[in-house]
Amino acid sequence: MKQYEPDRLTPAEAAAVRRSFRNGRAAMTRRSLLRASAGGALAVGGLGALSACGIPAAGKTQGGVSADDHSAKEKVVDFSNWPEYIDTDDSGKHRPTLDAFGKRTGIQVKYTEDINDNDEFFGKIQPQLAAGQATGRDLVVLTDWLAARMIRLGYVQKLDASHLPHAFANLSDQFRAPDWDPGRAYSYPWQGISTVIAYNKKALDGIEVKSVSDLLDNPKLKGRVGFLTEMRDSVGMTMLDMGKDPAKFTDDDYDAVIARLQKAVDNGQIRRFTGNDYTSDLSKGDFAACVAWAGDIVQLQADSPDVGYVIPDSGYMTSTDNMLIPNKARHKTNAERLIDYYYELEPAAELAAYINYVSPVAGVKPYLAKIDKSAADNPLIVPDKAMQAKSHAFRSLSSKEETAYQQKFAKLTGA
């Protein structure tokens, strides 16, 4: 097998990692502001003997390295995820959907919340993967740009589609064809993350905000505007506002966005770049408006009636956290069964009701409505077709581009 050199972080990239770890999306407490609305475990439907009718079996693993699959004899899955990114009961000790999966299949899920930052976690498992060794994990959840890197480096296994009938059938069209994993050969989304414009109605005091241009150009908002420290979100939203496609942009396009944001920094229009801590500024009215993550807005609105959001006519950015099976995973088939389970409509609904991110599962809405009608009717959790059509993804970057773009963005934000 070809030996891959690990991607190395430049000083600018390392600064971006530190920002993310301190207060970026990596530092988000995904359930810190919202009460659990599921109210108990659903009676989850039967997995049964899954028919793979019409679903082609995967061919020889390409890019990844398989190991002897012990799934038949060892009924276990080692699953690494982010903190507070799954449904729990009132005691916090049980996870109803995982409990139901284990009861139905006999497969014990060893669930570990040990992913606090993408790059930090990559640094933890990369030496083992580069050496062709097992990580001790069968399933991991990583944000799309790192999932792309893992696939590019040959660190994850190709999925067997015959084990994924529900995932194959129920994956939302919005997430089916990322440029870094066409056809989802190596990954399936755990949840989607939308980037929108949020505002505080009281702080706006009648000022209309409908676009990124309003944030950057309206002098009445000077010093009361926030953007995110996550490069793909702030650059992507500004790029859309400038009529450029985040999936196809050039170096010149990127530089034009940086120049526009720099002007707003220099003239004091942008108060600061933040991570998840913008939620406090927004609630208090220190930010009249800002670029924000939709999952936070859903949570904030439960307690802050002045907080609202808008989807610009130019569109909004979407990213995904994705389930992948690392090389040498000991229980690949069991992991694939767990992936597929979360694409059944009832478990998907229970998960969405609890964590309130974008469900990647088409058809989940009526099942979610049985648990929490307000969540089912919220387009930030279940986007309708019109909203889906406005979503855009940031294209995958080469290592060279990643370095250059992060350096420029770090200079802009003062990192």
Q: Against a cut of 0.85, is the pTM above it?
A: no
Q: What is the pLDDT of residues 309-348, one digit of tens each?
A: 999 999 999 999 999 999 999 999 999 999 999 999 999 9
Whole-number Å distance between alpha carbons of 173 and 15? 35
Sequence-ordered strand ranges (E) for 57-165? 76-80, 108-112, 139-143
Task: Give the distance, in angstroms, between the CA of residue 37 and the centroid of all CA atoms in the same chain.
Answer: 21
Domains 69-186+325-343 and 193-319+395-413 share a fold: yes
pLDDT digits (tens, 9 = 90+) for 232-290: 999 999 999 999 999 999 999 999 999 999 999 999 999 999 987 899 999 999 999 99
134, 139, 144, 145 alpha-carbon torsion, rounded to 10°: -10
The better pLDDT of the pair 120, 213 is held by 213
Closest to 333 in 3D by CA, of 147, 153, 105, 86: 105
In CATH terms, the fold of domain 69-186+325-343 is D-Maltodextrin-Binding Protein; domain 2 (3.40.190)
* Residue recorded with tokens 């250059």: 404
Class of domain 193-319+395-413: alpha beta
What confidence tens digit (pLDDT) does each residue in 151-206 have?
A: 999 999 999 999 999 999 999 999 999 999 999 999 999 999 999 999 999 999 99
Domain residue ranges in the chain: 69-186+325-343, 193-319+395-413
